Structure 1
Amino acid sequence: MHTRERILKAAAEMIAEDATTTLSVRAVAARAGISTGSLRFHFPTQRALQDEVLTRIYQHFIPDDPIRDSSRAARDRLVDCLRQVLAAAGVGDEARKSWGAAYQTFIAPEPSDKARDAYLAHERASAGRVEYWLGVLADEGALPREGFARKVHFLITVVNGLSVQRAMPSGESVLHAETETLYTAVDAVLGAGSD
């Protein structure tokens, strides 16, 4: 196995064992059985390593990820990706149960260290997924790479708000309002005008 692949395999194993792990250069190099200098040759920054590992994970687990369909407009692909996240939240009773469980676990009681760590791991995973999508679009030239953290936070906040809205009683079409909101958010992130 080539050194680059050994590095990626070691990093993926570390994440599989503990999703909250930080991929430090020393830890990954030790796991791969190589020097830190060799790791830095293949991945000059910790961020480059993390991005490549996430890309590989998403390509493996979500091979038909809509973000990769470059025959479609970037804004439509990003909206579809965000819709996938919302689909997992459910609608109506299912959404209420999900949010009720989240409230009982993370909000109502004083969170334990274990609950806090679990929430932060979930938050990092969500941010990583959105960063991955934005990275694909940046590689295509659809948006600049700077300001990713702010854009990721914004999109996650929008999706969280929409998932709460799905749990609330509503007299209007949730799908229509949700679609408008997603396109407004995506247009703000991509810097496009709204239509």
Structure 2
Amino acid sequence: MHTRERILQAAAEMLAEDVTTTLSVRAVAARAGVSTGSLRFHFPTQRALQDEVLTRIYRHFIPDEPIHDVSRPARDRLVDCLRQVLAAAGVGDEARAAWAAAYENFIAPEPSAKIRTAYLAQERVAAQRVEYWLGVLANEGALPREDFGRKVHFLLTVLNGLSVQRALPSDESVLQAETETLYLAVDAVLGTGTP
């Protein structure tokens, strides 16, 4: 196996074992059995390594993710990706059960180090997924390549709000309200405005 592939495999294994792990250059190099210089040759920054690992993981587990369908506009693809997250949250009883579990696990108990670590691990996985989508669109030129931190946080906040809305009683179409909100959020992130 080539050095680059050994590095990627080692990093993926580290994430599989502990999703909260930070892919430090030294730890990944040691795991792959290569020097830090060799790792830096293939991945000049820690960010480059993380991006490549996440790209491979997502392509492996979600090969038909809408973000890759370049025949459609970037804003529609990003909205569809965000919809996938909401679909996993469920509607009605399923959404209420998910939020009840979140409350019992993270809000009701005293915020210990263990609870904080568990929550932040979940939050990091969600943020990495959204950041991956934004990276794909940046590579296509649909938005500038930058630190996506604020945009990721904004989109996750919108998703959290919409998932709470799914758990609450409503007399309007959840799908219509969600669609409008998702497009507003995506337009804000992409800087596209409404067509």
With the shorter chain as reference, the TM-score category is: over 0.9
- CA contact 1:105–1:111 (8 Å) conserved in 2: no
- CA contact 1:99–1:164 (8 Å) conserved in 2: yes
Displacement of 1:113 after TM fit? 2.3
Displacement of 1:147 after TM fit? 4.2
Question: Residues of 2 paired with 1:193 and 1:105: CA distance?
Answer: 38
Question: Residues of 2 paired with 1:182 and 1:99: CA distance?
Answer: 20
Q: How does 1:91-106 map to 2 (within 5 A)?
A: 91-106=91-106
Matched residue, 1:143: 143
Matched residue, 1:59: 59
Question: Residues of 2 paired with 1:147 and 1:116: CA distance?
Answer: 24
SS in 2 for 1:101: helix
Deviation readout 1:144-184 (Å, 9 max, x if unpaired) = 01241110000000000000000000011111000000000
TM-score, normalised via structure 1 length: 0.98
Q: Which runs of 5+ in 1 are unaligned?
A: none
Question: Residues of 2 paired with 1:159 and 1:145: CA distance?
Answer: 23
SS in 2 for 1:161: helix
SS in 1 for 2:192: coil
Question: Residues of 2 paired with 1:146 and 1:30: CA distance?
Answer: 30
Question: Residues of 2 paired with 1:13 and 1:63: CA distance?
Answer: 19
Matched residue, 2:164: 164
Matched residue, 1:9: 9
Q: Which AA in structure 1 matches 2:193?
A: G
Q: Which runs of 5+ in 2 are unaligned?
A: none
After TM superposition, which residue ranges in structure 1, 4 or more long, deviate above 4 angstroms? none
Displacement of 1:109 after TM fit? 1.4
Displacement of 1:116 after TM fit? 1.5
Aligned-residue CA RMSD in angstroms?
Answer: 0.8
Question: Residues of 2 paired with 1:170 and 1:96: CA distance?
Answer: 13
How many percent of aligned residue pairs carry the same amino acid? 83
